[in-house]
Structure 1
Amino acid sequence: MIKNSRRKTFLLIFMFILLFVMIASLYGCNNAFLKPDDPAGKDMYYTRINNGDVKKNDDERYEYNLISYDKDGNEKKLKFTTARKLREHAYIELYVATFRGVTNWQEVQLDGLPRKVQEKYK
């Protein structure tokens, strides 16, 4: 009786571990994790560069901590680093993955921003 109970417990634990590994491997194959420069699976935010607040960190990278906006104009403070100082007052599109934060960025023109974001900068 005890052996049978232990066997059932072991099988139940094994099944949960197997299920967890399967789900984790499927989630880990998502574009948000594999391709930092691919917008698929990421939230897009937009900001304007202010080099007055930029700091150089221990890795000799430029650290930005800026107010950003999503396509609906909702505000969020985002932190990211770059290898070079970005152009003052440039508009930047940020690719934000759920667990990794900002994975990539690209410079855009004011007219390339969503309308609600444009209103924030006019």
Structure 2
Amino acid sequence: MRNRMFAVVALACILVGCGGCSTQGVARQFADELGEVALSAPPTGATYYLQVDNARVIEDAAGDVDMPYCYDLPAWSEDGAETSVVFRTARKLRDGAYLRFDAALLRGMISWEEVGYDELPDAVREVM
């Protein structure tokens, strides 16, 4: 039991000591792959909005044959704070469409749906 406890404490010390060195690298990786929303969204999730811009889509069939379209777009929280989101789709989305999506910390976009302009919060309409 004493050896097990020592091993756990030693492992924790190593992880904490090394964690500071790589924290920025891991954070940058999540931001590059999922957008800044993956770092700014609460762990329990939040709602965000964006407008589709097909001029900013990259078709990359070599990366994921089921989801070959990669979007990297600005997005806004319900209070109008700007962030970015990166997500993949199976097809190009309707250019100019407004999307409401849920995102969570380290997961990025979880789900999305197209909405009308009148469904956007006032704070989002002001900055979009």
TM range (shorter): 0.5 to 0.7
- What SS does the aligned partner of 2:49 have? strand
Q: CA RMSD in A?
A: 2.4
The aligned residue for residue 104 of structure 1 is 111
The aligned residue for residue 54 of structure 2 is 51
Distance 2:81 2:5 in 1: 47
Considering Cα pairs closer than 8 Å and 6+ residues apart, tell me whether 1 or 2 has the greater RCO: 2
Pairwise CA distance, 1:8: 2.9
Please list the CA deviations of residues 3-41 of structure 1 after superposition, one character each: whole Å capped at 9, or x if unmatched: xxxx43424657xx9xxxxxxxxxxxxxxxxxxxxxxx3
| Long gaps (5+) in structure 1 | 1-6, 18-40
- What SS does the aligned partner of 2:93 have? coil
Q: How does 1:74-89 map to 2 (within 5 A)?
A: 74-89=81-96
The aligned residue for residue 72 of structure 2 is 65
Alignment partner of 1:8 out of 2, 7, 28: 2
Paired residues, number = 93
| Long gaps (5+) in structure 2 | 12-43
Q: What letter corresponds to residue 50 of structure 1 in structure 2?
A: D
Distance 1:53 1:10 in 2: 52
Q: What letter corresponds to residue 8 of structure 1 in structure 2?
A: R
- TM-score by length of structure 2 reads 0.63
Distance 2:46 2:77 in 1: 8
The aligned residue for residue 23 of structure 2 is none
- TM-score by length of structure 1 reads 0.66
Q: What letter corresponds to residue 105 of structure 2 in structure 1?
A: T
